[in-house]
Amino acid sequence: MPDRAVSDVVGFVLVFSLIITSVGVVTVFGISTLEDARTDERINNAERAFDVLADNFDDIARGGAPSRATEIKLAETSLTLAETVDLSVNASDEADPYPSEFRPIVFSAGSETDIVYEGVRSSGHSGTAR
């Protein structure tokens, strides 16, 4: 009878150790993988939101829409204005370049990747850049 009690304890310890090890491995490697996938999806969503924003700006500039709204959800991310960018445009029929300054919109998900929207439009001559 004592031999059987020892084998039950050893079996319990082995099974319990296997369960604890499995939970530890999933916690260490699984959570970082899930966080990477979540960050990648946030960046993809920001790219789609900026595409919608650009289309809405185009609609308003062409006069096809009196107003538009674009929603960008910022769960654990940030939306800021970057430093001022100088832009000089030369038109073929003008001698002097048309100087312009603007501040791009920057979406940052806390990773190494930022999504930057630089929208430039001229009202006198056709020209667009994103």
| Tens digits of residue pLDDT in 92-127 | 666 666 667 778 888 887 777 788 887 665 555 444
E strands, 21-97, are 78-81, 85-89
| Tens digits of residue pLDDT in 54-96 | 888 888 777 777 777 878 778 778 888 888 877 766 666 666 6
Q: Does the model's pTM come out above 0.75?
A: no
Backbone φ and ψ for 87, nearest 5 degrees, come out as: -135, 135
> What was the pLDDT predicted at 97?
62
